[in-house]
A and B are shown apart, each in its own frame.
Chain A
Amino acid sequence: MNLINDLKIVSMKTTREGFGEAMSFLAKKNKDVVVVTADLSESMKVDDLEKTFPEQFVQVGVAEQNMMGVSAGLAMSGKVPFAVSYAVFSPGRSWDQLRVSVCYSNANVKIIGGHTGLSVGPDGATHQALEDVAMTRVLPNLLVVVPADYEQAKKATLAIAEHRGPVYMRLTRPKTACFTTAGTPFEIGKAQILRKGADISVFACGPLVYEALLAAEEIKEKVDVEVINMHTIKPIDVEIVVRSAKKTGRVITFEEHQINGGLGGAIAEVLSENQPTKMVRMGMHDSFGESGEAKELLEKYGMNKDALIKEINNFIKING
């Protein structure tokens, strides 16, 4: 999969930076690409595009419902709008508009939800989107993409621009490990086995994929862990999920999201229909987050390497 050579030596960048850089590239290449934002151009890293291509930038102010509708209207007129905000506001607040104006119309709008997961940190629970995957993946016509790092966010941005139809893409706030490279492939809907293993399958998405890789490396003498990057939650890669579960017979899902309705929910649906497998869903257990540093929060709520290692050991101890 062409990952970096040494997982321990990584540079740190944000997924939103990858998105912003890809957007400037796209805006230059295609005059119909338009960014629509609700007052968040700087923190969503589209401020460069705003300066360089002002005629392809629409600022609607703090009005996410209108942002979604305006984007639908632009798309129905041949533009390729990217509706950019924090996920708690959009799709959080703009879900009805996403459902009717965008998805029902199959309008070619790309919805970019930033600042997802607990790693938003000190702003607290109001700003930590932990439900966005659940609320988007039920919508017909909509694809759901969760890039794992900076480089993948760049590739995913280019890929969703090529796809004709609505897409939701989930981004994160803090700098996280850059472990994929320019040479790592990316294809919407194609899950990536980043590490082959025989004992247990860990399906992860977003920056937690890196934590899963670290965990697998750390316990490799005792447990042979398969790590799969589920960068596309919808359409989900049924074939890879089923094949891996069949091989290992043990499954853990790992995400910065509620365990209900997100990646964990999606994998449980696939397996219960195709390959019933004992599984554990790791993520947020039906509660809200709180203020704190990203690292502290991920530790407290069990979403880091150590928590995963503990869960893998438990799983094998209990279920053999």
Chain B
Amino acid sequence: MEDLVEKSRKIRVEIIKMLAVAGSGHAAGAMGLADLFAALYFGGVLKYKSSDPSWNERDRLILSCGHYAPVWYASLALADFFSVEELSTLRKIDSRLQGHPVMQDLLKGSGHKQLPGVENTSGPLGQGVSIAVGMALAGKMDSLKCKYICVESDAEQQEGQTWEAYMSAAKYKLGNLWFLIDRNEIQISGNLSSVMPIEPLREKLSAFGLRVFDIDGNNHGEILSVFEKGKLFPDQPKAVIMRTIPGKGVSFIQSDYRWHGKAPTDEEAEKALWELK
């Protein structure tokens, strides 16, 4: 667990650094999920081979809230899918680190340079949830033993498509599928409770046929144990409401919705990195 604390810190450091170099991007959500991504990639939740990103038995992580890309990229780099140095190309021309994640079928040779470890394309909210359902369904058809973990934001619950996808996951009893919802209560123009309330979320998810868990999304122990508890429900898709602190780790970013879609200036980054020491 101590190692996970250190990994989470390193992920946060890389997020701050890459956003500062990029000069744009979304800080708060990515910072808030550093603990989750540390647990997924370094706590034994995800099965993967960084040397063979398309290994068929790997667990799939689908990032539906594409604007959280920095936390995914930082984790993939620290997990050796590519070099940490490449993180500084985020959002730059000719980079494999696009502003929002992209996974393209490479067989046609479109000239696109694929970033290893990225499983899906996302940006418009809700789309990754359906993609995850499709992937988990294919996994079930092919009797694969792997898990499908879809990471979503809470504001994403405002999209109609998200609920269409939940219905189909429940109908097809996709017990291999996990919806992890970052309940950080901020979106681009304010708090969810004022922009568009989504509560009672637990009851809604449950009514849509999902097995719902509530955890502290900044607590490694709770994250790891929820995946153990989920094993008790092999035929039901799981939803995990993860209460997190947006921007966690940096005092002036934490819990302020204005950091949803903002990157730190050089000066702010320096201050943030000092806090993260």
Give Cα A276–Cα B97 distance, bound, in whole angstroms.
43
Complex contacts, A60 vs chain B, CB 8 Å: 164, 168
Interface string of B129-146 (1 = CB under 8 A from A): 111111111110110000
Q: Is the CB of B102 within 8 A of A72?
A: no
Give Cα A74–Cα B108 distance, bound, in whole angstroms.
18
Q: Known interface pairs A72-B130, A101-B127, A108-B105. Does A79 touch B168 (Cβ–Cβ under 8 Å)?
A: no
Chain B interface size, under 10 / 10 to 19 / 20 to 34 / 35 or more: 35 or more
Is B89 located at the chain interface by the 8 A CB criterion? no
Q: Known interface pairs A65-B161, A164-B108. Does A76 touch B120 (Cβ–Cβ under 8 Å)?
A: yes
Give Cα A20–Cα B160 distance, bound, in whole angstroms.
30
Q: Is the CB of A73 within 8 A of B134?
A: yes
**Chain A 92-142 residues near chain B, CB threshold 8 A:** 96-97, 100-101, 104-108, 141
Give Cα A61–Cα B165 distance, bound, in whole angstroms.
11
Name the residue on B nearest A164 (C-beta): B107
Give Cα A69–Cα B121 distance, bound, in whole angstroms.
11
Q: Known interface pairs A106-B104, A164-B107. Does A72 touch B131 (Cβ–Cβ under 8 Å)?
A: yes
Q: Is the CB of B110 within 8 A of A106?
A: yes
Q: Is the CB of A97 within 8 A of B161?
A: yes
Query: Nearest Cβ in chain A — how far from B106, in angstroms?
Result: 8
Is A58 located at the chain interface by the 8 A CB criterion? yes
Is B167 located at the chain interface by the 8 A CB criterion? yes
Q: Is the CB of A105 within 8 A of B165?
A: no
Q: For chains A and B in complex, what number of residue pairs have CB atoms within 8 angstroms?
A: 117
Complex contacts, A97 vs chain B, CB 8 Å: 124, 127, 130, 161
Complex contacts, B129 vs chain A, CB 8 Å: 69
Name the residue on B nearest A70 (C-beta): B134
Complex contacts, B104 vs chain A, CB 8 Å: 104-106
Is B103 located at the chain interface by the 8 A CB criterion? yes
**Chain A 275-315 residues near chain B, CB threshold 8 A:** none
Q: Is the CB of A76 within 8 A of B103?
A: yes
Name the residue on A nearest B132 (C-beta): A73
Give Cα A66–Cα B162 distance, bound, in whole angstroms.
8
Give Cα A65–Cα B132 distance, bound, in whole angstroms.
13
Query: Nearest Cβ in chain B — how far from A154, in angstroms?
Result: 26
Give Cα A79–Cα B136 distance, bound, in whole angstroms.
12
Q: Known interface pairs A66-B164, A106-B110, A164-B107. Does A77 touch B130 (Cβ–Cβ under 8 Å)?
A: no
Give Cα A106–Cα B160 distance, bound, in whole angstroms.
24
Query: Nearest Cβ in chain A — how far from B240, in angstroms?
Result: 20
Q: Is the CB of A63 within 8 A of B167?
A: yes
Complex contacts, B103 vs chain A, CB 8 Å: 76, 105
Is B126 located at the chain interface by the 8 A CB criterion? yes
Give Cα A61–Cα B128 distance, bound, in whole angstroms.
19
Give Cα A60–Cα B105 distance, bound, in whole angstroms.
25
Is A185 located at the chain interface by the 8 A CB criterion? no
Q: Is the CB of A70 within 8 A of B102?
A: no
Q: Known interface pairs A66-B165, A68-B130, A72-B130. Does A105 touch B135 (Cβ–Cβ under 8 Å)?
A: no
Q: Is the CB of A63 within 8 A of B164?
A: yes
Q: Is the CB of B105 within 8 A of A165?
A: yes
Q: Known interface pairs A105-B102, A164-B108. Does A70 touch B133 (Cβ–Cβ under 8 Å)?
A: yes
Give Cα A68–Cα B134 distance, bound, in whole angstroms.
9
Q: Which of B120, B124, B168 contacts A70 (CB 8 A)?
A: B168
Is A217 located at the chain interface by the 8 A CB criterion? no
Give Cα A70–Cα B133 distance, bound, in whole angstroms.
6
Q: Is the CB of A69 within 8 A of B131?
A: yes
Give Cα A73–Cα B121 distance, bound, in whole angstroms.
10
Is B123 located at the chain interface by the 8 A CB criterion? yes
Query: Nearest Cβ in chain B — how far from A60, in angstroms?
Result: 5
Q: Is the CB of B135 within 8 A of A77?
A: yes
Q: Which of A68, A71, A165 contacts B108 (CB 8 A)?
A: A165
Give Cα A234–Cα B130 distance, bound, in whole angstroms.
27
**Chain B 92-119 residues near chain A, CB threshold 8 A:** 102-105, 107-108, 110, 119
Query: Nearest Cβ in chain B — how far from A51, in angstroms?
Result: 18
Give Cα A66–Cα B137 distance, bound, in whole angstroms.
13
Q: Known interface pairs A65-B161, A65-B164, A105-B103. Does A78 touch B138 (Cβ–Cβ under 8 Å)?
A: yes
Complex contacts, A55 vs chain B, CB 8 Å: 141
Give Cα A65–Cα B135 distance, bound, in whole angstroms.
16
**Chain A 178-214 residues near chain B, CB threshold 8 A:** none
Give the 8 A-B CB pairs with smallest separation, nearest first.
A73-B134, A69-B130, A77-B138, A66-B164, A63-B164, A70-B134, A73-B131, A73-B135
A-B contacts, 5 listed (Cβ < 8 Å): A75-B134, A96-B127, A100-B123, A101-B121, A141-B108
Q: List 19 extra interface pairs beyond A66-B164, A96-B124, A101-B121, CB under 8 A.
A: A58-B172, A60-B164, A65-B126, A69-B128, A69-B131, A69-B133, A69-B161, A70-B131, A73-B136, A74-B134, A76-B119, A77-B139, A79-B138, A96-B127, A104-B104, A105-B102, A105-B105, A107-B105, A165-B105
